[in-house]
Amino acid sequence: MNSYLKLAIRNLLRNKEYFFINVFGLAVGMACAIMVMVYIWEQSNYDDFHPSSDRLYRVNIESKLGGLESNVALSSPMFAFGLKPYVPEIEQSCRIFKNDRDIPIVSPVSAILDYRTLLYVDSTFFDIFGFKLIEGNPITCLSKPRSIVLSRSIANQLFPDGAVGKTLTIEDEKKSVISGVVNGIPGENDKKWVVTGIVEDCPINSHINYQSLVSISSVVLPHLLWTSHYLYTYFRFKEGTDMKEPANSSNLGLSAIEDKLNNGFYKEARDFIEKSLGTTIEKMKDKDEYFVLRLQKVTDIHLFSHLKYEISQNVNIQTLLIIAGISILIILIACINYANLSTARLAGRVREIGIRKILGSQRRELSRQLLAESITISFISLFFALVIVELIYPNTSMVQQNPDLNIQMLLFKLSPVIFSVTLFTGIIAGIYPAFYIIRFSPATILRQQKQFSAGGKGLRGLLVIIQFVFSLVIIYSTSTIYRQLRFVQQNGVGFQKERLFVIQNLSGLEDKGQKFINKLGELKNIEGITYSNSVPGKLMDMESFQDDKERTNVLLMYVMEADSMFFNTYGMTLFDGSFDRRKYSGKDTIDVIVNEEAVKYLNVEKPIGSSINRQNADTSTSILIIKGIVSNFNFESLHTKIQPLIIFPVNPEKVKFASVRLSQPVNRREIGRVQKLWETVYPTSPFSQFTMNESLGEFYQEEESTGQVAVVFSFFAIFIACMGLYSLLALTTVYRTKEIGIRKVLGAGTKELVLLLSKEIFRLITIAGIIALPISFLLSYYWLNRFAYHISLSFTNYFLVFIAVFIVAVFTIYRQLWHTINSDPGESLRFE
């Protein structure tokens, strides 16, 4: 083995250019593979740190009412403890409730608790989850109202000298069901929260993200109904419970547990369903309508759950497969390069190999020697690949959400896999050159008569075609991703999102709220102001209604509340009705606006003036009178179709957002003027705002990350493919050197020689372009189907991609041919 290694190193160092091209090509390919391995390892290990992760499940809701389907990650607050009697296999349960506004802290320092990482949880939180409690009692720390557990970083920020036992004083401008009110009795003590524990900062590989944990008894949960879904419910099942998913039976394993949950749900919710929906469970089944509880394993949530109202943004498994596929293609391109260039280099070693055969070397020994060279290059390439990973990976979009990534530790954990991939790459890259040369007889090799068999030439041409097919597919797919992202950013939302920003954390319009809105209208460059309880891109509730005829048809629609300036401020078209000077109308009769999709959903000939029945939480009924129709607009992402929406006149007590349209682009100066006004009205409350572009952009973070990764990989792919052209031209010119010399002696010009040597390459690239077209379109079509609204596939765009690749190839060819054509023909014709 040592002799093989010494010979391999000696032969590699004889041709430094060959050595550099092969090492760099393989290094780039392996770097892509390693980065993808690290990324997949990170993403596939979410939530596996919980002590009983294999028995930990979340409850999801699947429903279909009035023909409208909904799959949500939310559930009723009644599930956690109300379903235990029906499912004895449940060992423990926990609810997680997310607030929808920041909580300002007055003392010990002025700060805010970000609503996105502020969770209200049951006292069983640390029993059911594996988050590490540093200080405090895991059983009692969240058992009492107004108890809060802080993450290590937040605790150090607020209480540098120790947090446990200290008090947080919060500023609560408006008492509400999600503020400091305890058991519905407001008081001064409601503003004081006691720190009862410190928890380690949330691990990056958790689908639950927190900075502060508050006892759920600190809030009055709204609508304690079995059909009101607004929080997250988790169950841990007893050890030994069969949770498998049987292929041929619905009465075993997970299906049996779900049946028990649903039977308990139907028994408890039957009365309310019949009163609020005006129908029975049996009638719902006859109409193919349902409420169904589903269990999802916690470790599957991050990659396989893409429901509405997820507690945090997940990653689509398809995205991982796409990135993994691209990396495999790139490393295959690199292996093909090595094979072609190694075959070209063997032309200079034919005498050596022939003599070794005559002296008794067996085919097996020669193939081992050539494989040893390729494996040596592969491991040398690994070193440079690791350097590339160290430099590039921490700065890619793959790890933007994980600034504490220890890349060295991850590489160490993956070292067995990396070693295997490196060895496999060396074998794949070297196997063709090894078998190419050892099949020739010594006499043939020494006479240099059989140089380039038709079969060998055809195979090498096929390899080049495959390289460029891969490259064109990757580049066109990347262009499709960016065209779709540009589409969702610039078009199709149904309202004017430019020059629009939203102020959040409002607590109604009484007193200070109305004062702030009035003064805001006096500022310069303000074109419009509107207030509402939600805005496009944020959570909107769903409610069930009944039509105004038989009152037996259940309708499921989204709802929001807004004032009369909402449509003008957002640039929406309001037609067939009016919305002027409407006020909150109470419960009995309410004027509403519906969108165009709701009109189709209601299926009424004259929607203006028609009515809908709304069953309230106290079982009373409100009649909704349709007074106007607004044009369709996307209040969710373009992944889903526009849904039916009812817009109510806003209840002043429920105002949470003030949307502001400027007469010029949103900038820091304008935001600063609004913030200064806010601080004069709310001196102790934090100012928080976001632009509408930012809010809607959060829907497409995964696609943006995929696009950024694809751009880097596309560059690698075309670079390696061009190196493949270089290797093929090297092979061609080695075997046609004498022919070129003779043609030059006979008067052939540079143009004629360039065409002679490059026409075969251009033919191969053209064939690759034809083959890559349907593959690119098929993959792009498959990816675009994740969007309800998307761009059309473009032949023009593909043609531009092909032309760009072709131009790069021309420059690569010209560089190699220039050296060969301008060499001395006397040298090429000299007989050795």
Calculate mean pLDDT across residues 609-613. 86
> Is the pLDDT confidence value at 51 over 80?
yes
Q: Output the pLDDT for position 177.
A: 37
Q: How many CB atoms lie within 10 A of CB 345?
A: 23
Which stretches of 438-588 are assigned E, i.e. beta strand?
Answer: 500-504, 526-532, 541-547, 554-562, 574-575
Cβ atoms 612, 599 nearer than 8 A = no
Residue 309: which of 231, 402, 197, 196 has the closest Cα? 231
pLDDT grade for 615, boundaries at 50, 70 and 90: confident
Q: With cut-offs at 50, 70 and 90, classify the pLDDT of residue 335.
A: confident
Angstrom distance (rounded) from CA 192 to CA 180:
8
Candidates 276, 126, 143; CA nearest to 199 is: 126
In whole numbers, what is the pLDDT of the chain averaged over residues? 80
pLDDT at 200 over 90: yes
With bands split at pLDDT 50, 70 and 90, how would you rate the model's confidence at 257? very high
pLDDT in the model for residue 524 = 86
Give the position of tokens 């075959």: 343
Is 246 in a helix, a strand, or coil?
coil
pLDDT attached to residue 660: 92
Phi, psi angle pair for 349, to nearest 5°: -120, 10
Name the phi and psi angles at 507, rounded to 5: -125, 55
Residue type, 234: Y
Contact 20, 385 (CB under 8 A): no
Its pTM stands at: 0.83
In this prediction, residue 124 carries a pLDDT of: 96
CA–CA gap between residue 706 and residue 695 (Å, rounded): 19
Q: Stretch 648-655: mean pLDDT, rounded?
A: 84
Closest CA to 254 of 95, 127, 89: 89
Structure tokens given for 200: 């380690």
The string over 603-635, giving b where at least 16 C-beta atoms fall within 10 Å of a residue's C-beta and e elsewhere, is ebeebeebebbbbeeeeeebebebbbbbebbbb
Q: Identify the pLDDT of residue 328.
A: 85
Query: In the prediction, which pLDDT does 272 show?
Result: 77
Give the least confident one: 204-208, 553-557, 588-592, 608-612. 553-557
Structure-block tokens of residue 658: 């003030």
Model pLDDT, residue 188? 46
Q: Are 58 and 73 in contact (CB under 8 A)?
A: yes
Percent of the chain with pLDDT over 70: 78
Residue appearing with tokens 């020059």: 499
Q: Are 217 and 146 in contact (CB under 8 A)?
A: no
Q: Summarize pLDDT for 506-551 with one digit per residue, the tens.
A: 776 667 777 888 888 888 888 999 989 889 988 788 888 877 655 5
**Burial of 827 from C-beta contacts in 10 A (0-12 / 13-18 / 19+):** exposed
> Between the ranges 448-462, 700-714, 716-730, where is the mean pLDDT highest?
700-714
Query: pLDDT tens digit string along 771-815?
Result: 999 999 999 998 888 888 888 888 899 999 999 888 888 887 776
pLDDT at 330 over 50: yes
Give the whole-angstrom CA distance, residue 176 versus residue 196.
24
d(CA 181, CA 185): 6
Strand, coil or helix: what is 3? helix
The amino acid at 122: D
Residue type, 315: V
Of the candidate ranges 198-207, 552-561, 583-592, the one whose mean pLDDT is the lowest: 583-592
Rg (CA), the chain: 34
Query: For the segment 261-286, what is each residue's pLDDT rounded down to a tens digit?
Result: 999 998 888 877 777 666 777 777 77
Measured between alpha carbons, how far is 95 from 77 in angstroms, rounded to an integer? 7
Q: How confident is the model at residue 126 (pLDDT cuts 50, 70, 90)?
A: very high
Q: CB pairs under 8 A, 24+ apart, for 279-286?
A: 279/552, 279/554, 283/552, 284/554
CB 768 within 8 A of CB 718: no
Q: How would residue 111 be classed by pLDDT, with cut points 50, 70 and 90? A: confident
Higher pLDDT, 584 or 656: 656
Which stretch, 112-116, 295-299, 706-710, 720-724, has highest mean pLDDT?
Answer: 295-299
Query: Over the stretch 232-254, which tens digit does the pLDDT of each residue have?
Result: 999 999 998 888 776 555 556 88
Give yes or no for residue 824 having a pLDDT over 60: no
pLDDT higher than threshold 60 for residue 136:
yes
For residues 498 and 583, what is the distance between their CA atoms, to the nearest angstrom? 28
The better pLDDT of the pair 59, 463 is held by: 59
What is the DSSP-derived secondary structure letter of residue 650? P
Q: Are 25 and 720 in contact (CB under 8 A)?
A: yes
Give me the DSSP letters along 338-401: HHHHHHHHHGGGHHHHHHHHHTT--HHHHHHHHHHHHHHHHHHHHHHHHHHHHHHGGGSGGGTT
Pairing of strands 167-170, 541-547: unpaired
φ/ψ of residue 74, rounded to 5: -85, 165
pLDDT of 73 reads 93
Backbone dihedral region of 537: left (phi > 0), alpha (psi from -120 to 50 degrees) or beta?
A: left
Query: Which residues share a beta bridge with 531?
Result: 658
| Cβ neighbours around 691 below 10 Å, total | 17
Band (pLDDT 50/70/90 cuts) for residue 222 is confident
pLDDT at 401: 53
User: What band does 390 get if pLDDT is binned at 50, 70 and 90?
Assistant: confident
Tokens of residue 400, six digits: 């933007």
pLDDT at res. 697: 80
3-state secondary structure of 44: coil
* First vs last C-alpha separation in the chain: 34
For residues 364-384, average pLDDT: 80
For the residues 329-339, what does the mean pLDDT come to?
A: 82
Question: Per DSSP, what are the bridge partners of residue 296?
Answer: 58
Kind plus residue range of the DSSP H or E element containing 170? strand 167-170
pLDDT in the model for residue 831:
45
User: Residue 7: pLDDT above 70?
Assistant: no
Strands 589-595 and 657-662: unpaired
Task: Give the residue-averaged pLDDT of 704-725.
Answer: 81
pLDDT at 348 over 70: no
Determine the Cα–Cα distance for residues 462 and 473; give it in Å rounded to an integer. 16
Pick the closest to residue 608 from 594, 587, 628, 635 (CA basis).
Answer: 628
Asked whether the predicted pLDDT for residue 436 surpasses 80, the reply is: no
Total count of residues recorded for the chain: 832
Q: Please name which of 46, 797, 723 lies closest in space to residue 483, comparing C-alpha atoms.
A: 797
> Where does the pLDDT of residue 450 fall: very low under 50, low under 70, confident under 90, or very high at 90 and above?
very low
User: To which H or E segment does residue 62 belong?
Assistant: strand 56-65
Determine the residue type at 228.
Answer: S
Q: Which segment of 275-279, 288-292, 498-502 scores lowest on mean pLDDT? A: 275-279
58 pLDDT more than 60: yes
Quote the CA–CA distance of 794 and 774 in Å, as a whole number: 12
Kindly indicate the confidence band of residue 492, based on its pLDDT and cuts at 50, 70 and 90. Answer: low
Separation CA 197–CA 168 (nearest Å): 13
Output DSSP code: residue 65: E
Structure tokens at 609: 């003036």
Q: Domain spans of the chain? A: 53-304, 465-492+696-832, 506-686
Please give the structure tokens belonging to residue 516. Answer: 């702030």
Confidence of residue 453 (pLDDT cuts 50, 70, 90): very low
* From 176-180, 353-357, 725-729, the region with the lowest mean pLDDT: 176-180
Give the model confidence (pLDDT) of 395-432 as tens digits: 665 555 555 566 677 777 778 888 888 888 888 877 77
145 three-state secondary structure:
coil
* pLDDT score of 226 more than 90: no
Q: Given pLDDT bands bounded at 50, 70 and 90, which one contains residue 325?
A: confident
**Structure-model confidence comparison of residues 128 and 735, the more confident one:** 128
| The pLDDT of residue 130 | 93
The confidence score (pLDDT) of residue 559 equals 92
Q: Is the pLDDT of residue 553 over 60?
A: yes
